[in-house]
Amino acid sequence: AVDYALSWGIDAIEARVTELAEHLRTLLSNLDGVQVHDQGDRRCGIVTFTVDGVPAQQVQRQLSARSVNVSVSLVAYARLDLPARGLPDLVRASVHYYNTHDELNRLVESLPSAVPK
Contact in structure between 79 and 45 (CB atoms under 8 Å): no
CA-CA distance, 64 to 83, in Å (whole number)? 26
pLDDT tier for residue 79 given thresholds of 50, 70 and 90: confident
Residue 39 has pLDDT above 80, yes or no: yes
pLDDT tier for residue 18 given thresholds of 50, 70 and 90: very high
CA 48, 63, 37 angle in degrees (round to 5)?
10
Give strand ranges (E) for the chain: 31-32, 34-36, 46-51, 71-73, 90-94, 115-116
Q: In this predicted model, what pLDDT tens digit does every residue of 89-112 receive, in sequence order?
A: 999 999 999 999 999 999 999 998
Q: In this predicted model, what pLDDT tens digit does every residue of 41-56 receive, in sequence order?
A: 889 999 999 999 999 9
pLDDT at 106: 95
pLDDT at 114: 54
What does pTM read for this prediction? 0.89
pLDDT at 80: 82
